[in-house]
Structure 1
């Protein structure tokens, strides 16, 4: 938006100039106690926030649209706008109106954008989920090699890893960042992948991704001469980290957050799980997109925000390194035998605060005295954690809890027990900490008692009992009385003492020389006390930030204790066992259970039927059985057991032996992808193709009903070929569920395939699901019976039986083809639904119909019981 500055007011000219620098963001322009928006920003914000759209002044002959929000409530509005896809530029007043007037009567208050609020750069508690990370990621490509860097500025965590373009989707699905940065001009290449992850796509110029300049930028950020101390980073990794640092510099306006040294990750170090598999297994989000019903929600027993974030990271990135897995298991195993210790630790952890985020806010100058108190209280609480003969991972964490005595003593001496939220409110420095502050406070506070004594003196002098000394921001301190008594005070001799200042409708206001002098002393003391507190706040912040490294280690230690005790508590209360994890290709589960389904059944008082799964001798199970029998649950639960085991948790089973799983692929259930014009069958084929092209011999693959979305023989042939490829080429461990019973013959042809089925029982035409998995094949699918259970009209069920019998007869007799069988079926109209069968009345029922209970004597009733028992068929 451009305009000749001579046609607008100085303030509007300032607004337009600042807005021109941030065309892609809503400009929150600070005016006193409000953030104001104008022109198109106002129209968009008013609609998004559902607030009133007004107008202010004219521009080019038309009204200027305007809306505004109170500055003290701005955070809530930021969150709404961010969720609706907006970015916000926060423009603050950099001086007071009084300071501006010193430059000239018409001088405009200086304003600057101090921060860009974007999805990946949030730090405020009210804008974040305390139990989840808020990652900002950047993807860089240098000479056909890619790398992904990600940061959570609310905690300071900074990571980087090599990442080929084909792996970007799975990695974003693992991290679930809120915002992803790519180089300008490449957005078309990555928009679909980023959108699938739920993140916002942001572009930066190529200069931000320059690895040579980026290395210098990162060295300056960490104040080091070389990045070698942090690891040997490749050019793409440096480029990705550089883009993150540049974007933070842009959005935070040079006030960079407190970032920990970057940590290199390797793809081979963690289990690879693609986006479709994560959705299918509902690891951190249920199918409806929420946390409720997910595995994360089911197993989360953590009591701190840091522990909850660590749990999500471990669950999203199960380890493939045996030593790491074993160390984590040792910690949980030790704690499962220390019930009292676990409860003591968890009780102490409940008293801690979110150390990482409090530290980050203070470093960004967005914190307050309560963040300092949170750090003080957390250090003190950490010192109270009980000791134990801990295994290595917890012993290291226990060491990191120590060494904070000096900072604790400083904060204990400096802060009151319950400080206010904002430093500008004052009153957070404890009495006795600073002599200069105590002196200013004494004068300020005693000044109030002096005013009260002075009011009593004036009442006695004037003889006006209703006289009051009051204060406002315009007049300062003044004497107020009613108009009735004012004449007396303005007449000699009182007029020599009381100086008239103002007359209102019902009151007259005076001052005195003595009152003016006291006012100056009191006001100076109050502002001086506040300035001293602000200075002390700054020095305390510096002292805390100087200890960022040890405090970060303390935060990680508390999270490690929280997660280990939470997993131990889960294992004990839910009867989970420690799995044996090794380098073999074993996969033997005894009494395995699906943790989420079991928890849901427990609420209804129903038992979960546990099942075994053995893929060691025959690495592929071909699973048959009817719908609703529990095949999908069985498939998913075994994948979840591998994930839980390799994240370091115990598992819901009576016994488990799992050879390290490098990848998990799940294709269980599917739906249309209408946005991309793909049918259910196409989605199924795309996901199956990804599995067959990527799965290695250490992968675990679970597949359900491959080929069901097309013609019978087409589907059977696809499923058949897929199973053969998994067996001969991928050579992975797999659970393959199908309704194509013809495939059961593959077990005789392929050494690594074994048949299994989910058992059912048929009773009086109904099917009863036993949910038990055993070796063998299902004799049929029971589809018609399941349809009946689902509530299909009886006439449809009966017709289905007729068609099924004809088709099966044709298959058995080797007829002249399916069309001939179909043509030979009797017409629907010619086969009216059979009348409901009248149940034959038993002899017992006949006798009972003739009995009049009210006329029976006790002796007759007993004789009747013997008679009825004698009529029973098995008597």
Structure 2
């Protein structure tokens, strides 16, 4: 054994540094946010990296092994801001909190260290805070597993949005892996270490700005996958979730295990895993085509100028995320496409009802992400209030839809889910919470006056202490007849009764002798205390803390009620999103004169008077000139079995790229169930889409590759 007492003082570890190094050793791949009072401090290499990334001052604290210890820190109240920047740069952060009050640590000895531990691993795919997320964009964490090798290998994909609770699963062959990753557009990919090192997969999964997290293969172990999944969802068997391939089960196990690991003892509320194929499948678009068509963002990486930006008329965060999801993977099921198009057509035909519906939808906050935060004990009063307002909006909208005589199937489903929204819970939340609650429950003041009598009493004591003291003083003056009697306060005696020496004798004689207890005699004045005054002082001193404690109990009670109603809340939120997407597409179609396409199981492809949706809008804003419509016939003619090809030639800046993209985008719009910019359209379902145009094209601004170059 080494005699540490003989070491150089600079090489001896302080209890604080021993604790830090132990916690850091358990989280070697993350920056450690180490809580010290009102700051998160970083040390050694973490401090150097964070200082460079955040542009904050690097300082030093003490020595280790004879060297200065680099240190930097961020204040607690600005932690989310710094976390957002670090996550955007691809860092993982381990948040280490104080688990006890420093006063408790001192009871164990003067040199005892406050107990600390990591309460959460913050990674790009597991964040839940609004300040770190884009309200209209899903934050997907994707797990990839492989079964088999070579051309026969099957890849299981399981992706979740921890912030909103969605959970999807798919299995694909190697040839489709890249297209599926591009469609899912994850913020983070978690996969077994062996798969991470596979040279054949590196070009498919190692993309710029995509966080890759290799983990132990044990998380993806097929032998224990079913048991791990069943334990997470607290079910005896997975039969109720449907049938999954081996690769899918491994991927589900991997993503569930990783979520558990990052949440450190807390359980994210996730939907049961659902296979994508159960929804009829989706249109396959490889990454190059997806980028060239500028579906979600332009080639420059901007949302403005993309197809999504051009068609987005949603008014809710849930609706924006659903529209992006549908546009990223349009359906290949004629039944699903037709059901969605029926809803759009219904709302297109009734502008008055559509306007009323959109106005009601605009009052509905996001309910899914607040629900997720509450489940992970990161929620606040505003999350409860958002869910309450969302449920009220759902009930109002459901009732309005119920008054309509005939509605299409998609809207019937949404109506029924909206009507099931628990209005008793909504009324309770509205009655209990103030109109504009604070962000954090520790701030207090979020429970409405009159909801809790003990809380009202504590608040009255805390806020109205002067009035209560004045009332007690008036009672003493009336009881004693001493008009000069005052209640005063100092840090030594606390509250006390003070009177002149001339009047003091009255308080030392019956009937006041038992009520007033002598405390102090000074030149010209005498001070007394009373039982009532001592009790009032104790109540005032603890009233603020007691009020916060009571509000905390009310918050926990409301949270339990919300989580107990999770299935109904989730269904109502998803119903509002469906209605928002349909109403937004109907608004677009009605305003811009778009038509409903005929989508069928055939090789037909007939577009009459087609227009590029993005360029048409750009022209309307910039020059006011109309877009020149073009037709496209690719389907087989009478008596022919196969379709046709078009070879389009022409000068630079002649519109070839616009024409190519225009027809591809019309396919996308048709297969999300929307209307299309054309005079008429008949489209046989497309299962794969390919496009290659000039890499520097900027159609929204009327610039071809030739012009840019």
1:248-397 aligned within 5 A = 248-266=259-277, 269-385=281-397, 386-387=400-401, 388=404, 389-397=406-414
1:65 aligned counterpart, secondary structure: strand
Shift of 1:537: 1.2
Contact 1:462–1:494 (CA under 8 A) maintained in structure 2 = no
The structure 1 residue matched to 2:43, chosen from 29, 38, 43, is 38
Higher mean displacement: 440-449 or 216-225: 440-449
2:159 aligned counterpart, secondary structure: strand
Partner residue, 2:247: 236
Q: Distance in 2 between matches of 1:457 and 1:105?
A: 48
Partner residue, 1:115: 120
Contact 1:151–1:158 (CA under 8 A) maintained in structure 2 = yes
Show structure 1 runs of 5+ residues with no match.
Answer: 480-488, 499-510, 672-703, 705-768, 770-782, 793-875
Shift of 1:8: 2.1
The structure 2 residue matched to 1:642, chosen from 663, 667, 688, is 667
- Are the structure 2 counterparts of residues 490 and 547 from structure 1 closer, same or farther at C-alpha, using a change threshold of 3 Å? closer
The structure 1 residue matched to 2:170, chosen from 142, 145, 161, is 161
- Are the structure 2 counterparts of residues 317 and 68 from structure 1 closer, same or farther at C-alpha, using a change threshold of 3 Å? same
Which TM-score applies when normalising by structure 2? 0.87
The structure 1 residue matched to 2:183, chosen from 170, 174, 178, is 174
Q: Deviations over 1:504-534 (max 9, x none)?
A: xxxxxxx999866533221233322322221
1:497 aligned counterpart, secondary structure: strand
1:528 aligned counterpart, secondary structure: helix
Partner residue, 2:505: none
Contact 1:176–1:199 (CA under 8 A) maintained in structure 2 = no
Q: Deviations over 1:167-206 (max 9, x none)?
A: 2211111111000011013213344322337421101101
Q: Distance in 2 between matches of 1:223 and 1:615?
A: 52
2:396 aligned counterpart, secondary structure: coil
Partner residue, 1:417: 435
Contact 1:497–1:512 (CA under 8 A) maintained in structure 2 = no
2:118 aligned counterpart, secondary structure: strand
2:190 aligned counterpart, secondary structure: strand
2:665 aligned counterpart, secondary structure: helix
Contact 2:461–2:468 (CA under 8 A) maintained in structure 1 = no
Partner residue, 1:689: none
Q: Does 1:607 align with 2:626?
A: yes
Partner residue, 2:640: none
2:419 aligned counterpart, secondary structure: coil
Which TM-score applies when normalising by structure 1? 0.71
Contact 1:284–1:296 (CA under 8 A) maintained in structure 2 = yes
Contact 1:29–1:37 (CA under 8 A) maintained in structure 2 = yes
Shift of 1:446: 4.6
Q: Distance in 2 between matches of 1:496 and 1:470?
A: 14
Contact 2:365–2:387 (CA under 8 A) maintained in structure 1 = yes
- Are the structure 2 counterparts of residues 272 and 40 from structure 1 closer, same or farther at C-alpha, using a change threshold of 3 Å? same
Larger Rg: 1
- Are the structure 2 counterparts of residues 791 and 641 from structure 1 closer, same or farther at C-alpha, using a change threshold of 3 Å? closer
Partner residue, 1:588: 606
Contact 2:317–2:366 (CA under 8 A) maintained in structure 1 = yes
- Are the structure 2 counterparts of residues 4 and 585 from structure 1 closer, same or farther at C-alpha, using a change threshold of 3 Å? farther
1:535-554 aligned within 5 A = 535-554=553-572
Partner residue, 2:234: 223
Q: Distance in 1 between matches of 2:414 and 2:15?
A: 59
Q: Distance in 1 between matches of 2:168 and 2:579?
A: 22
- Are the structure 2 counterparts of residues 667 and 36 from structure 1 closer, same or farther at C-alpha, using a change threshold of 3 Å? same
Show structure 2 runs of 5+ residues with no match.
Answer: 6-10, 497-518, 638-642
Shift of 1:593: 0.3
The structure 2 residue matched to 1:566, chosen from 574, 579, 584, is 584
Shift of 1:207: 0.6
Higher mean displacement: 120-129 or 622-631: 622-631
Shift of 1:159: 0.5
Partner residue, 2:680: 655
Higher relative contact order (CA 8 A, sep 6+): 2
Partner residue, 1:860: none
1:163 aligned counterpart, secondary structure: strand
Q: Distance in 1 between matches of 2:326 and 2:708?
A: 43
The structure 1 residue matched to 2:597, chosen from 551, 565, 579, is 579
Partner residue, 2:55: 50
Shift of 1:236: 1.0
Higher mean displacement: 271-280 or 209-218: 209-218
Contact 1:249–1:255 (CA under 8 A) maintained in structure 2 = yes
Partner residue, 2:452: 434
The structure 2 residue matched to 1:193, chosen from 197, 204, 218, is 204
Q: Deviations over 1:379-433 (max 9, x none)?
A: 1122222323321001110111113122123323322332222111222223333
Contact 2:521–2:527 (CA under 8 A) maintained in structure 1 = no
Shift of 1:318: 0.7
Partner residue, 1:626: 651
Q: Distance in 2 between matches of 1:137 and 1:470?
A: 62
Partner residue, 1:399: 416
Q: Distance in 1 between matches of 2:708 and 2:106?
A: 80
Q: Does 1:497 align with 2:509?
A: no
- Are the structure 2 counterparts of residues 644 and 434 from structure 1 closer, same or farther at C-alpha, using a change threshold of 3 Å? same
Q: Distance in 2 between matches of 1:458 and 1:59?
A: 65
Contact 1:376–1:412 (CA under 8 A) maintained in structure 2 = yes
Partner residue, 1:853: none
- Are the structure 2 counterparts of residues 88 and 273 from structure 1 closer, same or farther at C-alpha, using a change threshold of 3 Å? same
Partner residue, 1:735: none
2:648 aligned counterpart, secondary structure: strand
Q: Deviations over 1:785-824 (max 9, x none)?
A: x99xx799xxxxxxxxxxxxxxxxxxxxxxxxxxxxxxxx
Q: Distance in 2 between matches of 1:24 and 1:157?
A: 27
RMSD: 3.1
- Are the structure 2 counterparts of residues 478 and 100 from structure 1 closer, same or farther at C-alpha, using a change threshold of 3 Å? farther
Higher mean displacement: 323-332 or 94-103: 94-103
- Are the structure 2 counterparts of residues 630 and 382 from structure 1 closer, same or farther at C-alpha, using a change threshold of 3 Å? same
- Are the structure 2 counterparts of residues 469 and 573 from structure 1 closer, same or farther at C-alpha, using a change threshold of 3 Å? farther
Shift of 1:492: 2.7
Q: Distance in 2 between matches of 1:413 and 1:627?
A: 65
Q: Deviations over 1:17-51 (max 9, x none)?
A: 11111111111011111111111111111111111
Q: Deviations over 1:48-95 (max 9, x none)?
A: 111111112222222221111111110010011111121110001111
Q: Distance in 2 between matches of 1:411 and 1:390?
A: 31
